[in-house]
Structures are given as structure tokens and as C-alpha cells.
Structure 1
Amino acid sequence: MTFGLRKKSYVKEREDKFLSLINENQEKLYKIAYSYVKNKEDALDIVQESVYKAYISYHKIQKAQYEKTWLTRILINTSIDFINKNRKIVSIDMSYIENMSGSSNENLDAKLIVREALDKLTEKQKTIIILRFFEDMKLEEIANILELPVSTVKTTLYRTLKEMKIDLKE
């Protein structure tokens, strides 16, 4: 009888930790998903699917320090899967771009140019740019999430920035 109570207590504790993880990161998850699909409803769907995937495999996490990295990785993979499944459908929520600090036509033009340049990148390049500049993550964090050496992330980042600079100049 005591074993059953301990098991219920353990399950409740794990659920509480999972809910806390989701609540702490929900805005960040949404921003990352949105930066991939540029549509409010699709981003919310991706976050919801990612949370579900994380919930059903949460018991596999052994070290709490990797929870955020693990959750972000699930979200990125879900975002990429969504894009690949819906490649033919392109939708942009213009209110997001318009509300990105300032509303002058010059700012809007610059934002659209940056968005177009991002759209030309590979998924790996886009992921690194989004995590570095939109989510302000360190290169080490990005390397952990993508399961790549820091040197690879750094090289990809600088090459991508160089490519984007060329694109933006044209």
C-alpha cells in the first residue's frame, strides 16, 4: 500500500515539474515556432504538438539541466516537420512584422527584406540565426540543442551572416 502512495506522489511531482517547465518557457516556445512559420495559428499548433510530444516522453529525461534544451529541440523538429508537410502553403501574419518595434515604412521595408533573406536559408542556418539573434542564445546553448560541435555552429553562423549580407545588399 505504501508503494502505491509513493508512486502516485512521484507521478504528481513529475507532472508538476513538467507543467512548470512549460509555463516558464511558453513565450519562448511560441516565439521560436512563430519565427519558423510566421503565422499565429500555426505557431500555436506547433507549440501544442511539441508540448504533447514532450509530455509523452518526459519520463525519459534524466537530468533536469537538459530539460529546456530537450524541449527546444522537440519544438524545432516539430516546426521543421510542419514546414516540410506544408511547403506549398505560405502564409504570413503581417501584424507580427508591423508590430516589431516601430511602424514607419522604412522599418517595415527593412523587416520584410530580413524576413525574405531568412526564408532563403536552409533549416539549419535558419535555426542557428533564430536561436542566436531572436532568442539571444549563446553558441554553446545552440550547439547543445542542435547536437553539434560549437565550432560547427560558429562556422555556420558566420557563413550564413556573410550570405545574408550579400543577399541584403542585392
Structure 2
Amino acid sequence: MRIEKQSDRTDQNEDGEWLNIIEMERKRMYGIAYAYLRNQADALEAIQETVCRVWMKRHTVRELQYRRTWMIRILIRVCMDTRKKKRRELPSERTADRVAAEGEAAAGERLDMAAAVEELPPKYRMVIVLKYYRDMTITDIAQLLEKPDGTIRTWLNKALKQLRISHWLREGGVSHEQAMGREPRTAGEGD
């Protein structure tokens, strides 16, 4: 009888800790979800789904020190799943009207950058979002994604290179060689 009461108190304490962690990470989770989904409603829905999944599986976490990391990883997966579902849907007229209304150059550049980030492979996009939209360090990203720091640095470098190429190609229609900082090769050169 005594053991059951202690177990109940321990479970209540742990549940309280989980609620505190969820509350403390609320803004961070919203920032990550919004950076991925670019829509307040979708971001809030992703957070709700994440909290639900976390709560249902909270007893499966082996190392309590990794609860925050585990929760953020679930959020990222939920966001990626949501993006996949959204790609299957057709864009609405409202989206086209909203883009047409944003005629300013700055808004256009932000849209171009957002579009370029969207075109990146998922692992590169994830690193860009976490580094530049969520201000996480490379070490934090590596820990979150369970990858070595060097891998994260490589992915970040490749993502930035792809973004530069994409920007240069849109800006002036320069060739791939020019965007890479090389002179274009002519026929017979280097043979």
C-alpha cells in the first residue's frame, strides 16, 4: 500500500515537471513550428499535436535530461509531416491574392528567400531554420538531430551554397559556373 502511494506521488511529480517543461518551451516550439510552416494556425496545430504525442509517450523517455530535445524532435517531425500534407493540396486563390498584394521589393525578397529555403533538401532546410530562424548554435542543432558537429557544419555550408546559387540565378540569370565563382569552360578546354 505504501509503495503504491509513493509511486502515485512520483508520477504526479513527474507529470508536473512535464507540464512545466511544456509551458517553458511553448514560445520556442511556436517559433520552430512557425519557421517551418509559415502559418500561425498550422504552427499552433503542430504544437497541439506535439504536446499530445509527448503526453501520451512521456513514460517512454529513458533519460529525463533529454526531455526538451525529445519534444523538439517530435515537433520537427510533426512539422515535416504537415508540410508533406500541404504539398499535396492545391494552392488557394487567397494565396495568389495575398502574394499579389505584397508588391514591395522587401516583401518580394523575403518571399524569394522563403521559396529558396523551401527548395532545399529537408536536412539542409532543417539546419537553416534552426540556425537562422531559431538562433540555435551548431552544437545545439547537432545534439537535437543526434549528428556530429562536423556533419551539421557541412550541411549548413552546403545549404548556404545552394541558397547563394539560387539567389544569383534569380538575380541575373548567371550561369552555374559564374555563381560558383569559376570561369565558364569552353569546348576543348581541359581535354
TM-score (norm 2): 0.77
Cα distance between partner residues in 2 of 1:123 and 1:21: 27
1:15-164 correspondence runs (5 A):
15-89=15-89, 90=91, 105-164=104-163
Cα distance between partner residues in 2 of 1:7 and 1:65: 20
CA contact (8 A) 2:33 2:76 kept: yes
Match of 1:99 in 2: none
The code of the aligned residue for 1:12 comes to: Q
Q: For CA contacts below 8 A with separation 6 or more, give which structure has more relative contact order.
A: 1
Which protein shows a greater Rg?
2
Deviation at 1:27, TM superposition (A): 1.1
Structure 2: unaligned runs, 5 residues or longer: 96-101, 171-191
CA contact (8 A) 1:33 1:47 kept: yes
- Over 3 Å counting, the alpha-carbon distance change for 1:5 and 1:108 in structure 2 is same
Cα distance between partner residues in 2 of 1:125 and 1:10: 41
Cα distance between partner residues in 2 of 1:167 and 1:19: 43
Provide the aligned length of Structure 1 versus Structure 2. Answer: 163
Structure 1: unaligned runs, 5 residues or longer: 94-102
The code of the aligned residue for 2:23 comes to: N
RMSD: 2.3
Cα distance between partner residues in 1 of 2:23 and 2:82: 23
C-alpha offsets along residues 38-62 of structure 1, whole Å, 9 cap, x if unaligned? 1111111111111111111112223
